[in-house]
Amino acid sequence: MTVNEIKKYRKKDAYSYSFGSFPTFELLQTKPELLEMILVHSDINTEIQNKLDSECKMASVKIIQSDRHIEKIRDKDNCFMIGVFKKYHCKLNHNDNHVVLVNPSDTGNLGTIIRSCVGFGITNLAIIEPAVDIFHPKVIRAAMGAVFKMKFEYFSCFSRYDQEYGNDREYYPFMLNGMYRLGTFEHPGNKSYSLIFGNEASGLDDSYLKVGKSVVISHAHSIDSLNLSMAVGIGIYEFGKS
């Protein structure tokens, strides 16, 4: 593609953007083959520009300085670097532990969850539709580029995920009416597991009580529930300890 083809992000397009230097460097270092170009603004920090010049030269990625194109697509005035990259598809690893998100709807939450997952060693994410677009620039930014270290796959429903990855795997749906309190049991060390979380507003419906061992995160009764990204962070941390 050419720089003149760049426009505001649309889900239907074959490319997306990494807004800011940190996620763009993560993209450059992790998946340079996806990069079409990196746009820089004339106000970019000199030290960052020098680092970018060096890494792009090694990776054979072109840099284009264009204030006009950056200002056209960025959503914050302090964004001075944007990576333009091709969207791609992944398959999950059957033998690894997974996080499963059922109908996530918030870009910031999804990005934060991805960053936490990678930080605690879970790099496989199943997303049950309808769901937010993982390639939305707000997700990329909230994940601080960690999305490029994550395998992810979309499924039309949970049963499709179960058909493909459920064999010899332990399921742990996190629910307000879960049967087992987090931290009071151990999961089998010889089996991979999937931690399942519901939508930010509605959580998981009662049908998930029949899916594996349902888990509740105990908290004070002065709130009705935890934020989704917080619940996922607590869940993956606790399971990572055992």
Model pLDDT for residues 49-74, shown as the tens digit of each residue? 999 999 999 999 999 999 999 999 99
- Those residues whose C-beta lies under 8 Å from the C-beta of residue 51, and which sit 6 or more positions away, are 25
Pairing of strands 180-181, 169-173: unpaired
Query: Strands, DSSP E only, in the chain?
Result: 15-19, 35-40, 63-65, 81-86, 98-102, 124-128, 151-155, 169-173, 180-181, 192-197, 215-216
CA gap 242, 220 in Å, rounded: 24
Per residue in 149-186, pLDDT (tens digit) is 999 999 999 999 999 999 989 999 999 998 999 988 88
Q: What is the pLDDT of residue 223?
A: 66
Mean pLDDT of 132-138: 98
**Dihedrals phi, psi of 84, to nearest 5 degrees:** -105, 115
- Provide the pLDDT confidence category of residue 137 given band limits of 50, 70 and 90: very high
Q: pLDDT exceeding 90 applies to what percent of the chain?
A: 86
Burial pattern 81-112, b for ≥16 Cβ within 10 A else e, equals: bbbbbeeeeeebeeeebbbbbbbbebbebbbb
Mean pLDDT of 195-211: 94
Q: Rounded to two decimals, what is the model's pTM?
A: 0.94
Q: What is the pLDDT of residue 113?
A: 98
Per residue in 90-134, pLDDT (tens digit) is 999 999 999 999 999 999 999 999 999 999 999 999 999 999 999
